[in-house]
Each structure stands twice: as C-alpha cells, then as structure tokens.
Amino acid sequence: MTGEGTVSGVEICLDQVTKRYPGSQVAAVDEFSMTIPAGQVVVFVGPSGCGKTTTMKMINRLIEPSSGRITIGGRDALSLNPDKLRRGIGYAIQQAGLFPHMTVGENIGLVPGLLGWQQQKVRARVEELLDLVGLDPAQFRNRFPRQLSGGQQQRVGVARALAADPPVLLMDEPFGAVDPITRGNLQDELLRLQSELRKTIVFVTHDFDEAVKLGDRIAVLGPRSSILQYDTPEAVLANPADDTVAGFVGAGASLKQLTLLRVKDVDLDEAVTAPTDEDPAALHVRLTMQNSKYALLLDARRRPVRWVHVRELVGGGALSTLGRPVEATVTQRSTLQDALEAILTEGGHVPVTGQHGEYLGVVRIDTVMDVIRTLREEHEHDHD
Amino acid sequence: MSFADYVASRWQELLVDAAQHASAVIQCTLIAAVLGVALGVAVHRSPAGSAVATALTSAVLTIPSFALLGLLIPVLGLGVAPTVTALVLYALLPIVRNTIVGLAGVDPAVLDAARGIGMSRAGVLTRVQLRLAWPAVLTGMRVSTQLLMGIAAIAAYVKGPGLGNVIFSGLSRVGSANAINLALAGTIGVVIVALVLDGAYVLLGRLTISRGVA
C-alpha cells in the first residue's frame, strides 16, 4: 500500500529464531529468519498449527525463543525487560481480549497509564484514538466491552494497541471473530489508518484473501514456520513458489486478483439519485426520461439510504417510506472482491461512499465482470 | 415473664452479644478471605493443587464443630484463640473453592492481552484476574459468613464471645424461669444478625463489582 503519511514504524529482524518446547523432538519454529521492513504490513499466512502465532509471539516475547536473535529498530529485543518491551509494541488479538471490568476508556488508557503518562494526557489520547477508529468518544468512552458489538470491540482493541503510539503492531487474527461484512469494513479501516500512521505491522491470519488485501508483503508459512514464500501479494498470486503455496492460493487465482484491485481503480457509474423529500411523481418522470429502473435516495448529508423502483413511485406515499434500505456500501479503498460480494447482496450494483459516507457513484456488476475478463485473458497469456 | 418482656428487659446485653457475634464472624471471614484467596491464587494454575486444596478444606468442613472446638481446648486453651481458629478453618472451603473457580473462569484471551500489552505478572493478578474473580470470591465470603453464624454460636462452649452464650445459658437451665426465653432470644438473634450481614453483602457487591461484569 502506498501511503501518504511518514513512516513511523521501525524494522524488525529475526535471525535464526528457534522455539523448542521441552520434551518435544521437533522444534515448533525452526531457524526462522526474516527482515520486516519499517512501515510495512507483513502478513504471516498458513494453515493452523504451522507456528505462525508462535513466531509472532516471540517478537514481543510472550513466548521466549530458545535461540536466535530478534532486533526491533536495531535494539536487541531479548536483552530488554519483557514487560517494558511489550509496552512499546502494540498488541491486538482475536475477540479483542478487552478487559470486561474496565470501560472502553480505561481499556485504551491502560498502556499509557503503565508508561506513567499524566491523567489529562491519557484522557486526551483516549478521545483521539476513539475518533481515529471511528467511535464517538462521548458515546463510547464510558461503555463496558459487553455493551459493544463484535466489530466495535475489535475497533477498541485496535485503539488500545495504538494507545502509546508504538512503532510496531502485532495483530493475531484480530478480525477473525466477526461477520464477513464487518470484517471487510475493519480491514478497510486498518488500511486507512496504516496509510496515515505507517507502522510496522505483523499480521497473522489463516485467510489468504485477507493476507492479499492487507499485506505489503505476504509470508506463506509451512510446518515449523518454514517460509515457503515471502513476497508481494501480486508475486505470490502470479507466481507461487511451489505446489504447496499454489494449493494455498487456491483455485481461481484470477478471481483472487480482484482483492488486489480497489474500487478506486475502476470507473464509477452514476445512479439516478434523489433527496428523500423529493416529490415521487417528479422522480418518476426523471427515471422514465433517463430510462432507469431504480433511484437511490440520499439523506440530508448525501448518504445513500434506500433504493426505490420506478413501479413503487406510482402508488403514492412519501419517498422516505418507499423501496428497500441500502444494505451494503463500499468505499474507494474496498477491494473489487468486496464490491462483488456487495453487488450480489444489493442486486446488480452497489453505492460507493466517500470519507463521510457521502454518495460518490455506483459500481455495476458489468464493470466487475469486465475486470475479471481482462484478468483472465492476462492469466491465460501467462501460460502461453 | 413473656418473651417480649424478657427481650425488653435484657435489650442492652443482647445487643452487646449480637455485636460481638457479628464482629467475630466478620473478622474470621476476613482472615479466611485473605488466607483462602492466597491459597486459591497459589494453586489455581495446577489442577492437582486445586484438587488437594479443595479436598483439604472440605475435610475440615466434615468435622463436627462441637468436636473441633473441644479438640482445640488442650492445644489453644479457652476463649478467643480456639474460636478464631475453628471459625477460620470452616470459612476456608467456600472461599478457596470460589477463588479457584473465579480465577479459572477468566478468559484466556484477556490474560493473553494483559501480558501482551505489558502488564507485569503482579499487575495481571491484581488488576485483571482478582478483579474478574471478585464476584465469585465475594459469593464465597457470603456463604462462609452464613456458615459461621451458626458455628460461632457453638463457640460459646469454649468461652467464645457472642449470642452462643445466651443460647447455652438457656439450655443449661432448662426448666427454670427464663430458660426458653434465653435460648429463643439467642437463636432469633443469630438469625437476625445473619440476615443483616447478608444484606450488607448485597450492598458490598453493588459497590465493588464492576458494572462491566455484574
């Protein structure tokens, strides 16, 4: 991902890092060596039990390496006090792991508190972070985790990981426990955050599509955390290192390349739009003149709210009660795969929204089909 | 003399006995809470240790209180020492067991997160584990308190303080004028003190359990 912000992350080097559990013949992680460039997202992807989480947890020493060297920004991680080391590394996990007895604000303010920040500074930071992850501070600061939805909990989890502005973030399947649509939104948010913050992020997942979407680089891991391929998503998709990686990439690689393309890479179409207070008869005339079946109703802030069919306009009744609600929208940063899924939910087209949820245009299924056709032609060309 | 007249005439003494009874039970519960939580924290990570701690404290509970108090006389003499020892031993089981259950109920993901963001082991224990186990520990203390109310009455046998003295002096002179009144006043007194303390636990729970887990 090419970002606007300046790099605030630091480089992580793992050199022949090995984890051997007592009483076990084979190492859980065997001589793992990798350089993770500053300010990039590196995704460890692999089947469960391959040691990807173990490898990640050795970076913040939740699991102590048996041998090897780890440096973070040039500093030897193994010679630091583990608690102090972890306070300088953001950590976000599946199901968020929020402290249920603390409010959202207390959860986020915990690490700055451990670092001895002044109360007032902590409070200001909590506000800033809630804003950053898209939660209204006034509404959410004093809530308890159980009063939040799964997606909101994950946002708080990410905010907590970012609290002390660490250069490095470790994320262990942080979006694993939420529904696919929320998951897509959270991924989009993370990409937006990362384009501003440019942290060094190590992200663990078993979902290859997630790896392709989020990673600047992907490390496909095999048994004992052996690196099968470590490259950009484009390279892994186009040129898998071996059969195991190819198997993991799975069938339909050209379809998967949809996850490499963003909505902003294709041309948007215009829908017929109308404010919710427009006269239904006038809208009917406009739709007929433009030979369109559907109109998209926008609220006062130009956010898409409902789809209404031309037939529904003749029966009378205010526009605000007609049609059906818009169930899915995508942003410019969403992948074309997300868009395709949303299109299938919405029926033929999906509204694209900007930073504040305002309407920008629609993506039609024809547009996505054209992209697939082009990709497939290119892919066939590869094998000529 | 009717029961009401009796209570009215001995109001002051009964109140002192009730206060001493409550005070003995509360203090012994607190001592047992400190010991029981410490024991629970020490053993909760080991299934074998948890089983042994639970078995030992259950074994104590099977000893008849009258017998235990009597057996303590040669060792500790009469008065406060055997009373406190016996009451603390009886109070341990519910507190130890609930501490173990409460600590075991803490979501591993929460502990992983706590360590992962850089809390020290002591910090994780005091700020996360014990806070989350607190509702269970408090329930254990509440059960122990109820249990001790009755046992504390028997401690009058070893010259312990409290309403037991009233009951015992009534029972020891059955047939005389105020025998029934004495025994009845002591018994009803124990029940009332127990209800008041139980109410106090409800209030304490409201005040100390986070709304996030209540």
DSSP-based three-state secondary structure for A111: helix
Bigger pLDDT: A153 vs A323? A153
Nearest to A141 by CA among A150, A152, A88, A164: A152
Instruction: Identify each DSSP E strand in A206-347 by its residue range.
Output: 217-221, 227-231, 272-275, 294-298, 304-309, 324-325, 330-331
B75 close contact with A: CB closer than 8 A? no
Q: Name the amino acid, one letter, at A7.
A: V
Domains of chain A with bracketed CATH: 12-250 (3.40.50.300), 264-371 (3.10.580.10)
Judge: B115–A85 Cβ closer than 8 Å, yes or no: no
Structure tokens at A146: 């159980």
Predicted local confidence at residue A129, as pLDDT: 93
Contact A104, A187 (CB under 8 A): no
For residue A383, the Cα-to-chain-centroid distance in whole angstroms is 32
H or E, element range at A35: strand A29-36
H or E element at residue A366: helix A365-382
Interface touch B210/A170, C-beta < 8 Å: no
Q: Are B66 and B154 in contact (CB under 8 A)?
A: yes
Neighbours of A62 (CB within 10 A): 18
pLDDT-based confidence at residue A245 (cuts at 50, 70, 90):
confident
What does the pLDDT read at residue A383? 45
* ipTM score assigned to the predicted complex: 0.82
Give the integer Cα–Cα distance in Å for A91 and A348: 40
Band the pLDDT of A240: cuts 50, 70, 90. confident
Q: For the residues A258-274, what does the mean pLDDT come to? A: 88
Q: What is the pLDDT of residues A163-177, one digit of tens each?
A: 999 999 999 999 887
Write the residue in A85, A93, A145 that is nearest to B112 by C-beta. A93
- Our CA dihedral for A104, A107, A110, A112, rounded to 10 degrees, sits at -50
- Please state, in angstroms and rounded to a whole number, the distance separating the CA atoms of residues A191 and A270: 26
User: Is B107 part of the contact surface with chain A (CB cutoff 8 Å)?
Assistant: yes
Nearest to A325 by CA among A355, A302, A346, A349: A346
pLDDT in tens, A105-144: 999 999 999 999 999 999 999 999 999 888 999 999 999 9
pLDDT of residue A1 exceeding 70, the answer is: no
Query: What residues of B are in contact with residue A97 (Cβ under 8 Å)?
Result: 107, 109-110, 112-114, 116
A4-25, pLDDT tens digit by residue?
578 888 999 999 999 999 888 8
pLDDT of residue A180: 83
Q: Are B194 and B23 in contact (CB under 8 A)?
A: no
Of A302, A259, A298, A304, nearest to A276 by C-alpha is A298
Domain count along chain B: 1
State yes or no: pLDDT of A70 exceeds 70.
yes
Inside any domain, residue B214: no
| Parts of chain B with a pLDDT under 70 | none
Confirm if B208 and B138 have CB atoms less than 8 A apart. Answer: yes
Q: Is the model's pLDDT at A381 over the cut of 80?
A: no
Is A103 close to B107, i.e. CB distance below 8 A?
Answer: no
pLDDT of residue A376: 67
Instruction: Tell me whether residue A255 is exposed, middle or buried, using C-beta atoms within 10 angstroms of its C-beta: 0 to 12, 13 to 18, 19 or more.
Output: middle
Residue A245, helix vs strand vs coil? helix
A69 touches B81 (CB < 8 A): no
The yes-or-no verdict on residue A379 having pLDDT over 80 is no
Q: Cα–Cα–Cα angle for A279, A358, A189, nearest 5°?
A: 150
Q: How far A324 CA lies from chain B's nearest CA (Å)?
A: 37
Q: What is the CATH number of the domain that holds B139?
A: 1.10.3720.10
- Give the end-to-end CA distance of chain B in Å, rounded to a whole number: 50
Residue contact B118–A102, C-beta within 8 A: no
- Establish if B176 belongs to a structural domain: yes
**Residue A21 and residue A28: Cα distance in Å, rounded?**
7
Cβ contacts (< 8 Å) between B113 and chain A: which residues? 91, 93, 96-99, 157
Asked whether residue B22 is assigned to any structural domain, the reply reads yes
From the list B112, B212, B213, which residue is nearest A97 (CB)?
B112
Query: Quick check: A55 contacting B, CB < 8 Å?
Result: no
Distance from CA of B118 to the nearest CA of A (A): 4
Report pLDDT for A253: 66
Helix ranges, B44-129 (H): 47-62, 65-76, 80-104, 108-116, 121-123
Q: Which of B109, B118, B131 sits opposite A83 (nearest CB)?
A: B118
Consecutive H or E run containing B191: helix B179-208
Residue B213 falls inside a structural domain: no
Higher per-residue confidence, B94 vs A259? B94
Closest CA to A368 of A268, A275, A283: A268
Name the CA dihedral angle for A244, A250, A254, A259, rounded to a multiple of 10 degrees.
-100
B184 inside domain: yes
Which residues pair with residue A93 across a beta bridge? A172
In a domain, B91, yes or no: yes
Judged by DSSP in three states, B105 sits in coil
Q: Is A28 helix (H, G, I), strand (E, B) or coil?
A: coil
Which pair of structure tokens corresponds to residue B81? 């020492």
Residues 6+ apart with CB under 8 A from B31: B84, B88
Between CA B141 and CA A177 the distance in angstroms is 37
**Phi, psi angles (nearest 5°) of residue B3:** -60, -45
Hey, what amino acid is at A178? V
Over residues A68-78, the mean pLDDT reads 93
Confidence at residue B34, expressed as pLDDT on a 0 to 100 scale: 97
In a domain, B51, yes or no: yes
Residue in chain A nearest B130 by alpha carbon = A101
The SS3 assignment for A249 reads: helix
With bands split at pLDDT 50, 70 and 90, how would you rate the model's confidence at A3?
A: very low
Is B70 a member of any domain? yes
Three-state SS for A297? strand
> What are the counts of helices (DSSP H) followed by strands (DSSP E) for chain A?
14, 17
pLDDT in tens, A185-222: 889 889 988 998 899 999 999 888 899 889 999 999 99
What tokens were used for B31?
A: 């001592």
Q: Is the pLDDT of residue A153 over 50?
A: yes
The answer to whether the Cβ–Cβ distance between B117 and A95 falls below 8 Å is no
**Angle at Cα A198 formed by Cα A342 and Cα A2, nearest 5°?**
60
Give the closest residue to A167 by CA, choosing from A103, A227, A77, A229.
A77
B119 is in which domain, residue-wise?
A: 3-208
